[in-house]
Structure 1
Amino acid sequence: MHSFIPPQHFFPYLTWTDIQTMPNKEDVVIIQPVGAIEQHGPHLPLIVDAAIGVGVLGRALEKLDASIPVYALPTLYYGKSNEHWHFPGTITLSTETLTAIIMEVGESIYQAGFRKLVLMNSHGGQPQVMQMAARDLHVKYNDFLIFPLFTWRVPHITKELLTPKEAQLGMHAGDAETSIMLAILPEQVKMEKAVAEYPPEHPESSLLSWEGKLPVAWVTRDISKSGVIGDATTATKEKGDRILESVADGWVQVLKDIYAFKQPQTDE
């Protein structure tokens, strides 16, 4: 049931009396992994985002100092994935439904006495939902500290392992995601079906981008026939192992930071 998460860090394995008597609950870090069930090209399974999130988190928790109390909730496998729903198999929640789930999970964690919740999101189509829900939870409960984090935003070496073109344009089911899946769930990767497909490039004079500071709203079929946005053919398990370790190391550091974080107090 705990998948890649070390069992001693898996929240559902606790009893209610474990939680009732847990010391210093205001400093205990609770993590809600959030993924997606959506197409990732012809070579990767629908579970990619959720698998990467729980794989990275599990490795990070294996490395984390045992004195730091961190518990992972069951992964929320469904997310807001409507940019992919023209491809069969994608399952999507609406923004409203995903927000409601995050809010209600957060309220349950708060009522149990915890005051630190990490939204560990691994799907690029929903960071804004995490951020808005986090702000609303903090507005509702001022002493509730919510951290809406994207799995790939911690320091890591991934771009050093990619070609310049892939580092710039590879956004979905390309080298990085395929490589890390070869490290996490190799039996579910069909490398013989891997393809390379990049989105149309904007003119050099244009300030617009597909993802970046000045983005254009798009759905996947606008910019990819295969569902891949990047080059999956260059992926290797060796790269995936290095990416997994690097991203996990970044998460070890951020979890330490969250455990030590105190809410700022301003003079009234």
Structure 2
Amino acid sequence: MLHGFIPPHRFFPYLTWTEIEALPDKENIVIVQPVGAIEQHGPHLPIAVDSVIAAGVLGRALGELDPTIPAYALPPLYYGKSNEHWHFPGTITLSATTLLAVIREMAASLYRAGFRKLVLCNAHGGQPQVMEIAARDLHQEYGDFAVFPLFVWRVPHNAGQFLSDRERAQGIHAGDAETSILLALLPDQVHMDRAVCEYPQGLPAGGLLSLEGQLPFAWVTQELSRSGVIGDATAATRDKGEAILASVAAGWVQVLTEIHHFQQPKIPQH
């Protein structure tokens, strides 16, 4: 069905225009745009991984959210900025400019309909900066539009306890965490007999620079990995994936609840 992982009563496209027009307190309804990617994730995972995780985590969270909190999911935005993976067949990428335009025009449509809270639920590590630029520009253009550029994995969760120290530091793509959560969400599309463990070679040892984090350097995947995997996919299990999914979804329940009650800070008028 079209709603996929999203509970049907929380799926925005299933509403009619008259139902949308009649929604009460639209200023505090939370609209969530799942944002993923279609890009290589090694020989063992489908190219839809990030889109699956965005929709799967959000769907679990919306199913657990207090029914009195009005929140709806839009259809996933499957294509993202994935040019770091474009040397691998199957990767489909938008430019940063195109992705930014799509988000801005989608958001403007919601604003015209009366909504004032939009969450960008992004699951692809190559585009948080695009989400942040879109959010800031939208809020600058529409001063009463609260836009939240959020990364799926940055909500409170305990996924790290299931991963090795090296995996937490370097397992950034198609490794243990992503493979485990796909085993929980889409097990028939995971090929564990093809799973590999591959970490980047030649990284600065003991220095300040890293693949991601506070002081990153630019890279493309073919410089770091022959298989397209950056991490240890062989360590993944479905039980681990279920635990990670439950923990991350619970964090999203907290965040969506807070966003529903959020009011944009303003300097008091004298």
* Shorter-normalised TM range: over 0.9
1:8-58 Cα deviation digits (max 9, x unpaired): 000000011111111000000000000000000000000000001101011
- Alignment pair present for 1:38 and 2:39: yes
Q: Partner residue of 2:122? A: 121
Q: Structure 2 vs 1, CA of residues 15 and 222 (structure 1 numbering), >3 Å: closer, same or farther?
A: same
In the other structure, the counterpart of 1:227 is 228
Give the aligned partner of residue 259 of structure 1.
260
CA deviation after TM superposition for structure 1 residue 201, in Å = 4.7
User: What is the CA-CA distance between 1:205 and the residue it aligns to?
Assistant: 4.3
Residue 70 of structure 1 is matched in structure 2 by 71
Pair 1:92 & 2:93 matched: yes
Structure 1 unpaired stretches of 5+: none
Return the offset for 1:208: 1.0
Using the alignment, how far apart are the partners of 1:18 and 1:220 within structure 2? 46
- CA-based RMSD of the aligned residues comes to 0.8
Secondary structure (helix, strand or coil) at the match of 1:91 reads coil
Distance in 1 (alpha carbons) for counterparts of 2:33 and 2:132: 14
Q: What aligned pairs does 1:209-248 form with structure 2 within 5 A after superposition? A: 209-248=210-249
Alignment of 1:86-235 (within 5 A): 86-235=87-236
TM-score w.r.t. the length of structure 2 is 0.98
Could you report, residue by residue, the CA deviation over 1:77-100 in whole angstroms, capped at 9, with x for unpaired residues?
000000000000000000000000
Matched, 1:47 2:48: yes
Deviation string 1:193-223 (CA, Å, 9 cap, x unpaired) is: 0000001253334211111111110000011
Aligned to 2:3: 2
What is the aligned residue count? Answer: 268
Q: Does 1:20 align with 2:21?
A: yes
Q: Residue in 2 aligned with 1:61?
A: 62
- For the residues of structure 2 that align with 1:120 and 1:201, how far apart are their CA atoms? 33
Q: Give the letter aligned to residue 80 of structure 2.
A: G
Amino acid at match of 2:224: I
User: Counterpart of 1:156 in 2: which secondary structure?
Assistant: coil
Q: Which amino acid counterpart does residue 229 of structure 2 have in structure 1?
A: V
Q: Which deviates further from its counterpart, 175-184 or 193-202?
A: 193-202
Amino acid in structure 1 at the alignment position of 2:190:
V
Identical amino acids, percent of aligned pairs: 66
Residue 11 (structure 1) aligns with: 12
Which SS does the other structure have where 1:199 is aligned?
A: coil
> How far apart in 2 are the matches of 1:140 and 1:182?
41
Distance in 2 between the 1:57 and 1:112 partners? 23
Once residues 9 and 225 of structure 2 are traced to their aligned partners in structure 1, the CA distance between those partners, rounded to angstroms, is: 42
Q: Give the secondary-structure state (helix, strand or coil) at the position aligned to 1:33.
A: strand
> 2: CA distance between counterparts of 1:103 and 1:198?
36
Instruction: Classify the secondary structure of the residue corresponding to 1:215.
Output: coil
**Structure 2 unaligned blocks of 5 or more:** none
1:144-190 deviation line (CA, Å, top 9, x unaligned): 00000000001111110011111111000000000000000000000
Question: Scaled by the length of structure 1, what TM-score is found?
Answer: 0.99
